[in-house]
Amino acid sequence: MTDTTQVKAAKDVVKDLQAEYYAEANRAHEEGKLVAWVTSIAPREFLEAMDIVTIYPENHAAAIAAKKGSMEMLDIAESMGYSIDICSYARVNLGYVEAGDSAAGKVPYPDLLFCCNNICDTVTKWYEILSRRLNVPLIMIDLPFSHFDQPQEHTIDYIVGQFENAIKQLEEITGKPFNYEKFQHCLELSNQASTLWKESFEMGKNKPCPFNGLDYFNYMAQIVCSRGNEKAVYFFQLLKDEIAAKVAAGEGYIQDEQYRILWDGIPFWYNLRVMAKSLKDRKAVQVASTYTENWALTYDTTDLRSMAKAYMGNFTNREFEFRFNNMCRIIREYSCDGVILHSNRSCKNQDFAMYELARQVTKATGVPVAIVDGDQDDPRAFSEAQYETRIQALFEMIDQRREAK
């Protein structure tokens, strides 16, 4: 684990941990350890229990975009015939498979794939393609879309059966019995990390908000890549303590904050700068995000059914009423003045009924909503001028609402 002290800021520690994470993955591959490529909200606890190193193509694709390298990968993928309408994470990753290197460095090719389609259906075909092209086994866990406020019992039965089958597949691939004792420990660590993660971002309810919510998109790397081991618990305890100290001191990211904003969806990884500047110039703070909340997964660590329910609950895998009620709750609890919805060309599940969601949220809360066009990894879908125009309109609506009161 990285040697750090409490005086080192969490945003610096997370950079160290991620650099260490990739270095360890490459070293493990060189030493002949098994490496799995995994979808972002998959139950990695099963893999951690079997000492399998995990790499997240979505995380790596985001890092490539942040390093301004996504277009190179996208051009490769599109030259192979992959449509621009396909998720840019998938295209960046498929391009990386051909290139073997990237602006964000190398990650080892997988010995197996572990796919969970609770985030979208694209990953199903994406990982099937990877399995064929790389000639490696694929473990697929199908988590059906939830049309009800609570999953039905037969759905939970179906998911638990897949969990049990995944254990058998892992035993066959590794040639050793499943380590149930370590698995139980991983479940406990996963819950600890998720609880600390949630407790840290919930301090955004304080006024002034003690953090820049955009930083949480970077902190997410640890809840994605290290959930279920000690490093995640270590980091999120450090993060929580850091933010709690700011709350105790009455310290805000912007001390004289004027506006509190909720962000919905994946950010523009290639242009976090414009997101930050457009808010800070107006003394506005992103106090909450529906996206970062997705990884606050907790469950009964003695019950696979509870775990199945938790992993099924990703907001893109839930009914419209959940998304509506959840957004209204966040607006109320975090005292949000406005909402920014990212109409993401890549993420069809996230964009589903977005305009209706905006209409109903404003009707229910009175809080204005701006919908901005873009893409998580493809800069061609983003116009900085258009973004600024829509953000300006949002703040004008907020001011008009305040004057009307």
The SS3 of residue 179 is coil
Percent of the chain with pLDDT over 70: 98
Q: What is the mean pLDDT of the chain?
A: 95
- What is this structure's pTM? 0.94
Question: Residue 296: is its pLDDT beyond 70?
Answer: yes
Q: What is the mean pLDDT of residues 262-266?
A: 95
Residue 222, amino acid:
Q
Six token digits for residue 369: 């909503």
**Residue 147's pLDDT is what?**
87
> Percent helix, strand, coil in the chain (nearest 5)?
55, 10, 35
Model confidence at 4, in pLDDT bands (50, 70, 90)? very low
Strands, E, within 279-324: which ranges?
284-289
SS3 for 148? coil
Using DSSP, state whether 52 is helix, strand or coil: coil
Distance CA 101, CA 26 (A): 13
Mean pLDDT of 43-70: 97
In angstroms, the CA 8 to CA 47 distance is 31
pLDDT at 321 > cutoff 90: yes
Mean pLDDT across 278-293: 95
Say what the pLDDT of residue 1 is. Answer: 46
Q: Phi/psi of residue 143, each to 5°?
A: -115, 100
Is residue 287 within 8 A of residue 279, CB to CB? The reply is no
Architecture in CATH of 10-179: 3-Layer(aba) Sandwich (3.40)
Give dist(CA 147, CA 318) in Å, integer. 7
**Whether residue 76 has pLDDT greater than 50:** yes
pLDDT above 50 for 5? no
Higher-confidence residue: 348 or 381? 381
User: How far apart are alpha carbons 87 and 142 in whole angstroms?
Assistant: 19
Give per-residue pLDDT as tens, 172-215.
999 999 999 999 999 999 999 999 999 999 999 999 999 999 99
Banded model confidence at residue 7, pLDDT cuts 50, 70, 90: low
Overall average pLDDT of the 72-95 stretch? 97
Confidence label for 50 from pLDDT (cuts 50, 70 and 90): very high
Predicted pLDDT of residue 67: 96
Would you say residue 366 has pLDDT above 60? yes
The per-residue b/e assignment along 166-177, b for 16 or more CB within 10 angstroms, e otherwise, is bbebbeebbeee
More confident residue, 351 or 143: 143
